[in-house]
Structure 1
């Protein structure tokens, strides 16, 4: 999976814009936090825990990892790395 052309974090709007070669993808910060692929969040999901994401959570920092992107959220969560294919599938 190829990396996007650009990432633009709109903190005020609570939205991450991902520019792929074939088009623009817009994802809310709440959606991204709720879909965190880290082992801790996946384990909770497998146990049937319903993760409640605080409305107003924001992406504070974006760290490109080559095969994906690590998102650091305003609630302190920073463990998830979103591979490019996974991120694209969140639309």
Structure 2
């Protein structure tokens, strides 16, 4: 039987908005802290800020304020006003796997 990559079946922000909770079609559940998501944004603005060496090293207290499903990925908005990042679902799962190695 061929190995299949897990697929995102459902997602939500935690009650305190500090974590993205992700469930896969295979029944696994993962979590990714909002700060890790914000630090992992690959939008043009954040990429440029990294290139210019002015991207913050931390986002303490950052919260998820909105999640938009684009089919192939999630557009996540944060409490600092940033809302340009699109997180492809395989990328989200890779971020989640790094934080949840036993899952």
TM class, shorter-length: 0.7 to 0.9
Q: CA deviation at 1:86?
A: 1.2
Q: Which has more radius of gyration? A: 2
Count of residues in correspondence between the two structures: 91
Give the one of 55, 64, 70 matched to 2:69. 64
Give the alignment's TM-score, normalised by structure 1: 0.86
Q: CA deviation at 1:3?
A: 4.7
Instruction: Give unpaired runs (5+ residues) of structure 1.
Output: none
Residue 10 of structure 2 corresponds to 6
4+ residue stretches of structure 1 with deviation over 4 A?
none
